[in-house]
Amino acid sequence: LQSTQNSDDAARSHSPRVRETIIDFRKGEFEEMTKEIRQIPLLAIKPDPTQPRKEFDDEELQELAQSIRQNGLLNPITVKSNRHGEYTIIAGERSYRAHRILDEETIECIVYNGSNSKELQLVENINRKDLNIMEVVNAYRSYLDADHTIDELSQVVGKPKNIISWLLNLEN
């Protein structure tokens, strides 16, 4: 991976904007991806319906909201923009929900435009300890149903193919 940064927009905007261009050579292909940090209205952000995590503990969200109220958001959420000026969450749905509890109007986001947002979402969620086993299996299945192979899935999540196959057998 090779990366360059440009922050000249920061001087012209009331909210800091950092633009990073990443060139991905991992798959033997050239792909340019950009990430930009900025404040986005909560109303323009939607959770991804294919997000692996399905259960959110209300008490834990309240605790996170209080922490954000006291300390601010420590890490921006990651979103991908669509063609209609809306954004879909890749990572950080708990923080997004906590901001809604706080009736915040905006949230700091990393706007990502690479084509592998599903991989990022999968890795972000699978590496969490509190996903239940069927959420992991469903996340794997969703990735495979999007025309990916078990070899690709194994590389993305860093787990051996035999473990992935064993987990997928739990569906039956």
Of 167, 78, 79, 169, the residue nearest 131 (C-alpha):
167
pTM comes to 0.65
In this model, does residue 9 exceed pLDDT 60?
A: no
In this model, does residue 40 exceed pLDDT 90?
A: yes
- Please write the tens of the pLDDT for every residue from 74-103: 899 999 888 788 999 988 999 999 999 999
| Model pLDDT, residue 142 | 85
Q: For all residues of the chain together, what is the average pLDDT?
A: 78
| Model pLDDT, residue 22 | 47
Of 120, 130, 57, 148, the residue nearest 94 (C-alpha):
57
| Model pLDDT, residue 114 | 66
In this model, does residue 107 exceed pLDDT 90?
A: yes
| Model pLDDT, residue 29 | 52
CA-CA distance, 138 to 144, in Å (whole number)? 10
User: Can you tell me the mean pLDDT for 141-168?
Assistant: 87
Which range is least confidently modeled, 14-18, 124-128, 135-139, 141-145? 14-18
Measured over the CA atoms of residue 48, residue 53, residue 58 and residue 64, the dihedral's sign is negative
Q: Catalytic: which of 29, 36, 55, 93?
A: 93
Write down the residue that tokens 């969703």 correspond to. Answer: 142
Structure tokens given for 71: 């300390």
Q: CB under 8 Å to 14, separation ≥6 — which residues?
A: none
Measured over the CA atoms of residue 9, residue 1, residue 117 and residue 31, the dihedral's sign is positive
Q: Is 93 a catalytic residue?
A: yes
Structure tokens given for 166: 């064993």
CA-CA distance, 165 to 149, in Å (whole number)? 11
